[in-house]
Amino acid sequence: MMSKRSFKKAISKTMSLVIGLIIVIAVVAGVLIYMTSLPPTPTTTPTTTPTTTKPTIEKVKIGIIEPLTGRYAVFGQEAVDAARLLVDIINNELGGVRSLGGAKLELYVEDAGTDPSSAALAAERLISNYRPHVILGAYISRLTAAVAEVTEREKIPLVMDALVDWLTERGWNYVFRIAPRASAHGKAAVDFVLEMARKTNVTIRTVVVLHEDSIFGTTVANGVRSELIANGVIPNETITYAYTITDFGPIISKIRDLNPDVIFSVPYFSDGILFAKALQASGIKVKFIAGAGGCGYTDPDSIREAGEAVEYFTNTYSYNPARQTEWNKRIVQEFQQKYGKLPTEAAGIIFYSLMFVYEGLEKAGQMFPENPLNPDNLKAAFLSLDLNDSNSKAAQLYPTGKIKLAPNGENLYGGTAILQVIGGQPKVIWPEAEAGVTPVFPRP
């Protein structure tokens, strides 16, 4: 039996254990209370580097709007023929757009008709049905302006084959022009004539400027007058006529009275043929007839229709079919084999414009792999290109061999060539004559 002393000792020991346990519990409780009073520790989610998947692009949609009916159809059809040839070469010989995984170009064609309203409707129809990534067209300046109003609103890049100067001066963000401005054609026609007059000791005393009354004709004629005046030659008369003219009789009578040494003429197609035949029939002797603007007189279709009436006429062109570069010789040969005629203005502009688009698409795929066909990305790619004969097929197709766009989309290196009808054939005579060809000045 436990003694009283042992009992007290056991009680004391038990109390010590209880007190110790209470202290431990209190400390733990205090720690828990402290811990719960702290702000929560943020949890860290492991970061992963996002992976970008390059979009699969099977085709790039290219629209082309050209006058395929009416009086300008000869130009529009040649432009479409050129586009089809280039698309075939890009897709099947160059392997498509390589930076886009070999994406093929797919061409969609619309008829611009003969007036701005039909051209605008063609643009609306093309965009509504196919939503092209790039559009080319529409050769006639007033039709192109109507198309541009639509493409600008829809933010679709428009690569123009029309020449009127102000088309790149409207503040539009998505217009581009590789071809030279219309006024450059007027200047080139004058520079050629004055150069040849000096070389052949021909005196030019009287000059008539003759032009159809569209925006195009007026702009080119202004370029002619400005360059004449800059060289101290004052035009004796400027004769303007409706581009729908059917009778040149009164104008021929006026020319007979003025008896000019040189006529600078800015025609389209039908009016050019009509004027040449009327002048031939009149028997009036003019030392030289210099066309400007790339429409009429020296293209194969005009020569076929006008015959001897256009012999020795000249005209300025936005394209030089005799340029001796690898790609220009190749394209000209393939066009002649496929369509049976020499490519001139309408085809030539499409050659280098569409090849420029192709090279711009390649650049867009390199610069913007996640979204190369965004219109702003395409614009940035187009503006970044600095092309010459050594690095570009498009430049090899261009008269000056150089393409670089200003911020407004205008080619900084625009230039022309001059063709003359010699022996019933169109020949390049200026600024460098093609091999074996000598310019005929004045007319025999």
pLDDT digits (tens, 9 = 90+) for 237-281: 999 999 899 999 999 999 999 999 999 999 999 999 999 999 999
Mean pLDDT over residues 367-382, rounded?
98
Domain containing 272: what range?
A: 183-317+418-430
Same structural domain, 218 and 246:
yes
Same structural domain, 189 and 312:
yes
Query: Could you report the per-residue pLDDT of 205-242, keeping only the tens digit for each?
Result: 999 999 999 999 999 999 999 999 999 999 999 999 99
- On whether residue 22 sits in a domain, the answer given is no
Same structural domain, 217 and 256:
yes
Burial category of 413 from C-beta neighbours within 10 Å (exposed 0-12, middle 13-18, buried 19 and up): middle
| Residue-averaged pLDDT of the chain | 90
217 and 241 in contact (C-beta within 8 Å)?
no
Same structural domain, 223 and 206:
yes
Question: Concatenated DSSP letters for 106-128?
Answer: EEEEEE--SSHHHHHHHHHHHHH
Report the range of poorest mean pLDDT among 30-44, 111-125, 323-337.
30-44
Report the range of poorest mean pLDDT among 46-60, 148-162, 392-406.
46-60
Give the CATH number for residue 133.
3.40.50.2300
190 and 231 in contact (C-beta within 8 Å)?
yes
Beta-carbon contacts of 238 under 8 Å, excluding residues fewer than 6 positions away, are 208, 209, 210, 211, 221, 225
Same structural domain, 87 and 194:
no
Mean pLDDT over residues 80-96, rounded?
98
Query: Could you report the per-residue pLDDT of 134-159, keeping only the tens digit for each?
Result: 999 999 999 999 999 999 999 999 99
Same structural domain, 302 and 226:
yes
- On whether residue 174 sits in a domain, the answer given is yes
Strands 314-317, 386-388: pairing is unpaired
- Please give the pLDDT value at position 44: 41
Distance of alpha carbon 328 from alpha carbon 405, whole angstroms? 21
Same structural domain, 307 and 327:
no
Same structural domain, 329 and 308:
no
Q: Is the pLDDT of residue 311 over 90?
A: yes
Mean pLDDT over residues 73-98, rounded?
97
Same structural domain, 225 and 353:
no
Same structural domain, 292 and 424:
yes
- On whether residue 142 sits in a domain, the answer given is yes
Same structural domain, 290 and 424:
yes
Q: Is the pLDDT of residue 2 over 80?
A: no
Same structural domain, 263 and 196:
yes
- On whether residue 4 sits in a domain, the answer given is no
- On whether residue 444 sits in a domain, the answer given is no
pTM (2 decimals)? 0.86
348 and 317 in contact (C-beta within 8 Å)?
yes
Report the range of poorest mean pLDDT among 41-50, 155-164, 299-308.
41-50
Helix (H, G, I), strand (E, B) or coil at 240: strand
- Please give the pLDDT value at position 56: 81
Number of domains the chain is built from: 2
